[in-house]
Amino acid sequence: MQRLRALAIVLLCLGAALLLLLFWQFTDVYFVLGGDGVDPTAGQESRYLWTASACVAAMFGAAACGTLANSKVWGPLGGIGVVLAVVAAIVLAVPTDRWVPDPAPNELPSNYEPCFSGSNDCGPGG
């Protein structure tokens, strides 16, 4: 029980450090004073995935260890940590459109013929 409680504390501290690292990585990619914003590199995207995954796993491990140790402090704190880690992973995503689905393709019908202004080739209503 004592070891599980200690492991919960260590994992909570690790998860908190990783939460701060997620925020730092997000500002490192997107905080620009003047000039245009930049697109994140593949390395920055990979770093985000590893950090976010490790953060959620550490917080989940802290919650599990705290619960298994029957701790009235570390179990609930670990649960709060899981929620914070998931929210941070969603809000501080790199790239920021990671959770936005791609728009549906807008394909024209195969019999489409463009109608240009000033031409007499337009059909009725054109």
Q: Is residue 116 part of a domain?
A: no
Rounded distance between C-alpha atoms, residue 47 and residue 90, angstroms: 15
Rounded distance between C-alpha atoms, residue 86 and residue 54, angstroms: 11
Q: What is the pTM of this model?
A: 0.76
- Which three-class secondary structure state does DSSP give residue 68? helix
Q: Is residue 109 part of a domain?
A: no
In sign, the C-alpha dihedral spanning 15, 17, 20, 24 is negative
Q: Which domain holds residue 76?
A: 2-91
Q: Is residue 42 part of a domain?
A: yes
Q: Is residue 76 part of a domain?
A: yes
- Count of domains in the chain? 1
pLDDT above 80: residue 117: no
Q: Is residue 21 part of a domain?
A: yes
Under the banding of pLDDT at 50, 70 and 90, the label for residue 13 is very high
pLDDT at 75: 92
Instruction: Give counts: helices (H), strands (E), the chain.
Output: 3, 0
pLDDT digits (tens, 9 = 90+) for 71-88: 999 999 999 999 999 999
Q: Is residue 99 part of a domain?
A: no
Q: Is residue 49 part of a domain?
A: yes
pLDDT digits (tens, 9 = 90+) for 40-75: 888 999 999 999 999 999 999 999 999 999 999 999
Q: Is residue 101 part of a domain?
A: no
In single-letter form, the type of residue at position 46 comes to S
